[in-house]
Amino acid sequence: MNKSLDIVILSVPITNPVPAVAPVLLSACLNEKGVTAKGVDFSVEFYKIFSKKYYWNDVQSLFTMGHLKEKTLPRRAVIDFLKFNKKFLLELKKDYNPAAIGLSIFTTISVNYSYILSYSIRKYLPSVKIIMGGKGVELKDATTQKLHAENFYNNGLADLIVLGDCEHVIADVFKNDTYGIYISPEQTVEDLDARPLPKWDEYDLNQYKEIKNVLLEKPYMVVNSSKGCIRKCTFCDVQEFWPNYIYRSPEKVAEEIITAYKKTEIDKFVFSDNLMNGSVTNYRKLNEILSKEIPNTIEYGGYAIFRNKKYMPAEDFELAKRAGCGWWSIGVESGSEKVRFDMGKKITDEDLNWSIDNLLKNKIRQKWLMIVGYPTETEQDFLLTLELMKKYADYASTGLIEISCNGTFMALMNSPIMKNTDYGLINNPQSDKFWTSTKYPNNTFPIRADRWRRFIKLQTELGYDWNKVIDINRQTDEIDILEKIYFENINNNEIKTKIIPIIEI
């Protein structure tokens, strides 16, 4: 047996088969403060085994849509999961004998498997302390209306749950042997600049290259330059987690990228920021450093926002291209300027066209993120969205513009729109997509679903690529299921709550 470690941090399935940053970033933070730790990408180990199983599509759909699927997880899958967990955990004990196991629950999609994994840890490693964190546990369970963190802790499936970003406090929290639900203090700019580089050498990065998946053309590394967002979009819950927008120094971000490239020879980087150009001056400085030190060498991309020509002149797009910018993922949301302003996007048609044209000119790929069925959206607004796709249809076949529309508009419980009485929104516990509005009563779910299908039909006819990160077949399946539930459960214009179990053994 190797030397015992204080803690092993695992990524929890299911996530896309790309390097999970949280385990290796947190292990770096812990080791820097004298806590022996190691990050393990458990999610990719899970993916390599189970993505080949006959029930894989059912697993993905159930974990993604939860109780909306009118079927349970196959018994064979549950048995296989438990066997897989047992083998993995016993090997983990043999190799590292950890005093604690940390579970990084990236999104709500990983919540369901966390229950299975926590159960396995309790059974096979009963003396090990279970620590949880990640945005997945910070959201509410639709059926209990409690935070997932509360459900885990109250059911004895975790000893410590950390809410909020914790790189700056995780070592102290661990050393103090903290238990319960711990709320991490908000990070500062100094905290971001002080954190160490992720310990990417803890992963075999070649394994990602061997995975045959359309989502992963080549291995990449994740980098983060900021927390929060400069916008306060009505539909987004980012401000609930990061009330303030803060950012790292561009010099440190550039150092992280350049060091990682020279050490690993991996030349693709993905920004995990909500907006990588939230601070235009910082984004410009980062590109200046990269274009000077390693010009036209790497490729990077991430979420960005359209800016007008005053703040991002043509030269900024040219500089970004030399620095290695390969793509922007952009919340275009709607072809209607009015709807975008209702959303709080504050993007004029002029701003939109300026950025699109300059990105095209510099052959920087665009991944448009669209929304169909925003509460104030009228049929005329929707037609403007279709016109926007037609306007740039000549670029569809070039691959320079990809589009994704992730189902119909979803009213998140933590988003500003649910707190704004002007919209008159009433949510339904069965699905965040079944909302109704007293102010916009004609914008019903069937109308929204119909618009989504028309959107997808036109997108296909024009030849736009579907954003590869989103599985269109799964989205279509979800719309079909939601529509079926909607029509089967309507009574006096209200949708009955009908809870369907996710897992039965």
- Gap between the Cα atoms of 366 and 293, Å rounded: 25
The predicted pLDDT at position 497 comes to: 37
- Gap between the Cα atoms of 481 and 470, Å rounded: 17
Give the pLDDT band of residue 236 (cuts 50, 70, 90): confident
Share of the chain above pLDDT 70, in %: 92
User: Does the pLDDT of residue 473 top 80, yes or no?
Assistant: no
Alpha-carbon distances of 77 from 56, 127, 299, rounded to whole Å: 9, 27, 38
Element (H, E) at 120: helix 111-124
Give the pLDDT band of residue 467 (cuts 50, 70, 90): low
Burial class of 170 by CB neighbour count within 10 A (0 to 12, 13 to 18, 19+): buried
Asked whether the CA dihedral 138, 141, 146, 151 is positive or negative, the reply is negative
Contact 133, 165 (CB under 8 A): no
Complete domains list, the chain, with CATH: 7-187 (3.40.50.280), 220-495 (3.80.30.20)
Residue carrying structure tokens 């699109």: 356
State pLDDT tens for residues 340-383: 999 999 899 999 999 999 999 999 999 999 999 999 999 999 99
Contact 363, 317 (CB under 8 A): no
User: Does the pLDDT of residue 494 top 70, yes or no?
Assistant: no
- Gap between the Cα atoms of 408 and 321, Å rounded: 34
- Gap between the Cα atoms of 505 and 503, Å rounded: 7
| Residue 271: partners with Cβ closer than 8 Å, 6 or more residues away | 222, 223, 224, 225, 300, 301, 302, 303
Burial 420-457 (b: 16+ CB within 10 A, else e): eeebebebbbbbbbbbbbeebeebbbebbbbbbeebbe
* Cβ neighbour number for residue 269 with a 10 Å cutoff: 22
| Residue 192: partners with Cβ closer than 8 Å, 6 or more residues away | 226, 227, 246, 247, 248
Cis before 294? omega within 30: no
Instruction: Note the helical H segments in 176-237.
Output: 189-194, 206-210
The better pLDDT of the pair 23, 240 is held by 23
Report the predicted TM-score, pTM, of the whole model to 2 decimal places.
0.79
Beta bridge partners of 330: 304, 368
Residue 396 per-residue DSSP state: G
| Spatial CA neighbour of 401 closest among 345, 317, 322, 332 | 332
List the end-to-end C-alpha distance of the chain, in Å, as a whole number. 35
User: Does the pLDDT of residue 178 top 80, yes or no?
Assistant: yes
User: Does the pLDDT of residue 162 top 80, yes or no?
Assistant: yes
**Distance, CA of 416 to chain centre:** 19
State pLDDT tens for residues 179-204: 999 999 988 889 888 889 888 889 88
